[in-house]
Amino acid sequence: MAIVNLTPDSFSGDGQATTAGVAAAIAAVDGGADIVDLGAESTRPGSQPLTPDQEQMRLLPVLEGLLGERSRAVVSVDTYHAATAQNAIRAGAEIINDVSGLLWDEQMSSTVASEGCGLVLMHTRGRPQDWRSLPALGDEEVVPLVLEGLREQIAVAQTAGIARASIVVDPGFGFGKMGQENFALLAGLQQLGQLGYPILAGVSRKSFLGEAVRRVQTESMPLAEARHTATIAANVAAALSGAHILRVHEVQAAREAAAVADAMRQGLGIRD
């Protein structure tokens, strides 16, 4: 899943305007991405929320531009607004990637059910403006907390009538988990398999990776470069722990990381 940010305040500094966004999305498809994930609202810590209308002004022209050039592209839309989700699906998107896990807009579950689209159900702990003030978690608390939250969110989805086969779960790296808590989650990712749903892992360029490698880096680098190798390592770890989808900024590097992980799983006799 290739990330195409349409936000001027993207945490990794890769936000795109409409023309550049369409070009980036086309390049992702041509570069081998199975899914292109368009996001028009930043969810970095302390970010300011958009209205659905503001979000759609950024997002829909890029969605339409991409599908006009690559009609068979599978597009996911990163939104927690039901109105944006509905308009995006009707414009050709096939998946809604809701970082709130159906919690921030009470109409989202019924919208996804009625539109019959795919759903990435992410676990989040509070909202972006709350993350810096959340109490710390012990390593042993992280995975049980995520499992409990995802079970509750799956129940909401099922009650709304969202088809089981339409759901992918995402533990939400960085979404209310700080620093080492994310490594505890990565180490325990395989436990999410007990939920019985495909798993998406979004670790690309996350701050906890930057914190881990900073002490061994010998020079100062731009964020994307500074977290490049750490992202590849984390993607291999996630794939070895059972992630089915990697949400990434760099498609080719992730494809190669996944190829190595898949070869290792095959060597170990692991089958999904």
Residue 107 falls inside a structural domain: yes
Residue 271 falls inside a structural domain: no
Boundaries of domain holding 70 = 2-264
| Full-model pTM | 0.92
What mean pLDDT do residues 241-255 have? 97
What mean pLDDT do residues 208-237 have? 94
Residue 272 falls inside a structural domain: no
**CATH number for the domain that contains residue 190:** 3.20.20.20
What mean pLDDT do residues 8-18 have? 55
Residue 145 falls inside a structural domain: yes
pLDDT value, residue 18: 82
What mean pLDDT do residues 179-202 have? 97
pLDDT tens digits, one per residue of 66-94: 999 999 999 999 999 999 999 999 999 99
Residue 78 falls inside a structural domain: yes
**How many structural domains compose the chain?**
1
Binning pLDDT at 50, 70 and 90, where does residue 194 land?
Answer: very high
Residue 270 falls inside a structural domain: no
Residue 221 falls inside a structural domain: yes
Residue 269 falls inside a structural domain: no
Q: Which residues are catalytic, by number?
A: 206, 247
Question: What backbone phi and psi angles, to 5 degrees, belong to 36?
Answer: -110, 125
What mean pLDDT do residues 159-164 have? 97
CA distance readout (Å), 82 to 119, 200, 225, 269: 12, 21, 35, 42
Residue 251 and residue 35 in contact, taking contact as beta carbons nearer than 8 Å: no
